[in-house]
Structure 1
Amino acid sequence: MSTGPFEGAEQLWSVCYDRGRVLAGSKPAYLYESVDCGASWRRLEALTDQPGADHWMPGAAGLTLHSILADQKGGIWVGISAAGVFESRDGGMSWIMRNRRGNRPGPAGALARDWGDGVEFRAEDEIFSCVHNLAFGAAEGLIYMQNHQGVYRSRDGGAVWEEVTEGLPSTFGFPVAAHPTKPGVFWVFPLNGDSEGRYPVGARALVWKTEDGGETWAGKGAGLPERDCFFTVLRQGMASCEGGVAFGTNSGSVFLSKDEGETWEEVARHLPTVLSVEFMG
């Protein structure tokens, strides 16, 4: 265990800016904040003090708080493997588990068009609690998730999740990246499964893109290796910006698309394992 400013943490897994402070997530699953640009840190105890936290089960990498989203209005969402998604609306003072699955009535076209219009969901059960990554979509309350067992979206801030895995070559993967201004556009990188090697399906590198919020999918591989791809893209290994998408691999390559994932080029190679990719500016 560390004895530094991150009391109780073995490793740091995520950071996020939130209204003048920095949030950090760790293994084990603690949430920390700094209000002085990282000079000092304190643990936000409310997350792990909530009822049931002592029964959270670790994922393969341990009990990790690997994803943090902040809407800059007091809303915070965290992803913990393998406990699930948790939401706070008061800056981290209190939390609600957000693992509810639902179906939304109506045709698929309405699903793709009507973001956050208040139509009621029918709750069925809980999603599998091993969330792998979260990303804000470009609409109020819209969040995309890559889960251990599928891809999901929520249009009400995580209160209910809809599965949108159909059309993808597998249910398993780690990263998700969303377009900053187009609500229905996001990307995932499916892998061949939990116990099959965790490399691209068919050993061919494809980034899967949707333009209608997950209703339909297309594999995009122009410029990517077409065979013998046995690498993994880790949970923070893909990022997006206006017009651009990039991902890094555990074999040390970084691939960049300047046209929203339609074509790709390798911009770095022979790096150490790429744990995280970010765009600056």
Structure 2
Amino acid sequence: MDAISKMSLIELSSHFSALKGEEVCWPRIEKMVSDTAKSWKQSGKAPHELSVMHIWWHTCYELLAPHQIQISALNYRDEYIEIKNIGPAIIDLSGWSLNAGDKGQDFTFAKDTLIYPKEILRIETHPGSALSFESKAPIWNNQGDKAELKDKDGAVISTWLYGDAAHEDVQISQVNFDGLEAKKEGDEFVEIANNGSATIDLTGWQLTGDKGQLFAFHDGALLKPAGIIRIYTNQYHPSTGGHNFESGKALWSNQGGHAAINDYRQQCVSEYHW
């Protein structure tokens, strides 16, 4: 990328980083890039041959790629990993790589590998598919492992943890045992926090209590980087994961109790006493 595009990228990045949630949308980004390009043209700093489209293409790629490509699934039993483009731009994955936890367990995307908006690419462990680690032996540890997706410059774009590799980042951060809802206290909840920067796969994990409480996380349940989820007694809140026991009565004693979260091998990850 030339110096003009880099300077434009710096200007755009300062604005882009301030956008949150629904503000990070294609029309906003398009206007931002267009306005910056016009400003550079009018200032005389950009050479005439440097078109608006040239700035647009490079800045959009640099800005969007880290925000829209992510590891979306990992199956250690069937030995594959998937990455997804959550949109809106087509991203060139040339030179990007995946690491399967250990040194030497790497896959590098070939030149001109493109991933389109909403597209999912599956990378198999064993030989025989278009995208493969070409390993005859399993590479994903059944007890737990870490996957990293890096761009062509080696910057980490997405990290995925499961099993014992995720233990130190998962914590029961709160138990709201005294609900405000009369009698049935459906607004009781247990809050689980991710203290790390990786996505954590909670498939097969369980939340248990000292009175026989048991909640099993469904396949594909995730705990986002630096995020929290809540498991309510009998309320549905999508903003915190949408998990609930669907219990018709209160579950957590106001006099004291114990809650624990266990991984899919029933290893205790975090406990909370009150």
- Name the structure where strand makes up a greater proportion of residues: 1
TM over 0.5, yes or no? no
* TM-score, normalised relative to structure 1: 0.28
TM-score, L = length of structure 2: 0.28
| Structure 1 or 2: more helix by fraction | 2
Which structure would you say has the larger RCO, counting Cα contacts within 8 Å and 6 or more residues apart?
Answer: 2
